[in-house]
Amino acid sequence: MISKFRDDFASLRRERNGKPPVYLDNGCMTLKPRQVIESINEYFERYPACSGYGRSNHWFSQEVKEATEKAREKVAGFINSLPEEIVWTKNTTEGINLVASAFPFKKGDIVITSDREHNSNLVPWIKLSRVKGIVHKTVPSTPEGTFDLEAFEDMLSPDVKLVSMVHVSNLDGYTLPVEEIIKISHDYSARVLLDGAQSVPHRKVDIKSLEVDFLAFSVHKMLGPSIGVLYGNYDELKALDTFIVGGDTVSDTSYTKAVFLPPPQKFEAGLQDYAGQIGAGAAVDYLSKVRMERVEAHESRLTELLIEKLSAFPEVKIAGVKNTELAKGIISFRIMDNNRLLIAPSDITELLDRHYNIMLRAGDLCIHSWFNHMGIGASGVARASFYIYNTREEIEILAEGIEKIIEAEKNGK
């Protein structure tokens, strides 16, 4: 079945030095199947116009309107929400910033995050601490690297207005206990925002079951174009202030007053990425046919296989949580010798790319805070991340490549 998926990805049919690519940088961005590309091309080739909402009422604009409304409905259905609860953004980062900027914070209000947040879910709170006087608190992990629910609950009080947590870590694929986090937060009347950049593309996420207030995610990590989504419970979206304002966010203006539209329109200022929205709908169609349960199971098997392979090399040190029941789909590692770097992560990825066409990511993964706290510093890790088109053979190729660069380094080559 995996080979069937691979046939849809033209980029996997490329070769360099007679070898196909081994693409394991899916945590950053996934490849695009022909169905998504065709949907985007159809917009540009057949009806590349503005959407028909009252001003452009011609044939092309009506087709854009119908296609983008259908895409919003598909994305809503994918996470079990309502279309009016889906706000289009550029990416996860913009979705989080929207909530951070529009939430009715007052000086002294508390925001709680985990200690393993991507900068997208850290820097906005650092900024608001400075400009609005909010208090940002961080939940320390347990010695095993997992989320400490007891420490979290001890932090809660009536002054906590928002709990903003990563759902699945981009370091190691560790899934935070978000069901418990949401329930406990709501017991204290705090709202919850989840960074779903590494969860929505890899498993079934049902916001009605979670009862989460906000969820941000990026379509470019789930086979689609570079566009993002913010889900918000409709009442919570109505309670937010505006974010970026201008055309298409208002129903009327005078020289001194603006009448804003209801959500989601009040957050979608200016000309929208119509092609991106249509491509997002096609990506959701594709993943719905694959079924998210199969995506998660496939990634779990690849994770177990790579951990098994890497455990044969004493020089390879895996970062973060290593329990495959709790962490899957992402493996970050360093190559060490007597507690010092044997090969820098950036060199690992450069050598694997040059000699084996293996594509990984290296560095701090936008979680400088975690690396600094752990004393690892800017060199960071090398990261492999999987998706539906990756195979067991590719894991074997990666393991073989790592073994050979370790041998070469030890032999001084």
- The answer, yes or no, to whether residue 352 has pLDDT greater than 70, is yes
Q: Are 84 and 234 in contact (CB under 8 A)?
A: yes
- Model confidence at 255, in pLDDT bands (50, 70, 90)? very high
b (16+ CB within 10 A) / e for 196-221? bbbbbbbbbbebeebebbbbbbbbbb
b (16+ CB within 10 A) / e for 323-357? ebebbbbbbbbbbeeeeeebbbbebbbebbbeebb
Question: What are 263-310's pLDDT values in tens digits?
Answer: 999 999 999 999 999 999 999 999 999 999 999 999 999 999 999 999
Question: What are 103-132's pLDDT values in tens digits?
Answer: 999 999 999 999 999 999 999 999 999 999
Does residue 264 have a cis peptide bond before it, meaning omega lies within 30 degrees of 0? yes
pTM over 0.95: yes
- The answer, yes or no, to whether residue 413 has pLDDT greater than 80, is no
Question: What are 137-174's pLDDT values in tens digits?
Answer: 999 999 999 999 999 999 999 999 999 999 999 999 99
pLDDT at 57: 83
pLDDT at 164: 98
* Beta bridge pairs of residue 332: 383
Q: Are 47 and 66 in contact (CB under 8 A)?
A: no
Whether 28 is catalytic is no
- Residues 73-92: what's their mean pLDDT? 98
Question: What are 301-349's pLDDT values in tens digits?
Answer: 999 999 999 999 999 999 999 898 999 999 999 999 988 999 999 999 9
pLDDT at 376: 85
Residue 57: Cβ within 10 Å count: 10
- The answer, yes or no, to whether residue 405 has pLDDT greater than 70, is yes
Q: Are 115 and 139 in contact (CB under 8 A)?
A: yes
- Model confidence at 3, in pLDDT bands (50, 70, 90)? low
Q: Are 92 and 196 in contact (CB under 8 A)?
A: yes
Question: What are 24-68's pLDDT values in tens digits?
Answer: 999 999 999 999 999 999 999 999 999 976 677 899 999 999 999
Q: Are strands 330-337 and 381-385 parallel, antiparallel or unpaired?
A: antiparallel
Which residue type sits at 277?
Answer: Q
- The answer, yes or no, to whether residue 1 has pLDDT greater than 60, is no
CA end-to-end span of the chain, whole Å? 40
pLDDT at 412: 77
Go through the domains of the chain in sequence order and give each one's CATH number: 2-24+291-410 (3.90.1150.10), 36-289 (3.40.640.10)
Q: Are 368 and 119 in contact (CB under 8 A)?
A: yes
- Residues 9-36: what's their mean pLDDT? 97
Tokens standing for residue 77: 């259905």
Q: In 336-380, which ranges are continuous DSSP H helix?
A: 345-356, 368-374
- Model confidence at 4, in pLDDT bands (50, 70, 90)? confident
Q: How far apart are CA 113 and CA 196, in angstroms?
A: 14
Residue 413: Cβ within 10 Å count: 8
pLDDT at 411: 84
Q: Write down the mean pLDDT value for the chain.
A: 96
Q: How far apart are CA 172 and CA 371, in angstroms?
A: 13
- Which entry of 366, 395, 397, 405 is annotated as an active-site residue? 366
Q: How far apart are CA 18 and CA 26, in angstroms?
A: 23
In 3-state terms, what secondary structure has residue 234? helix
Q: Are 277 and 76 in contact (CB under 8 A)?
A: no
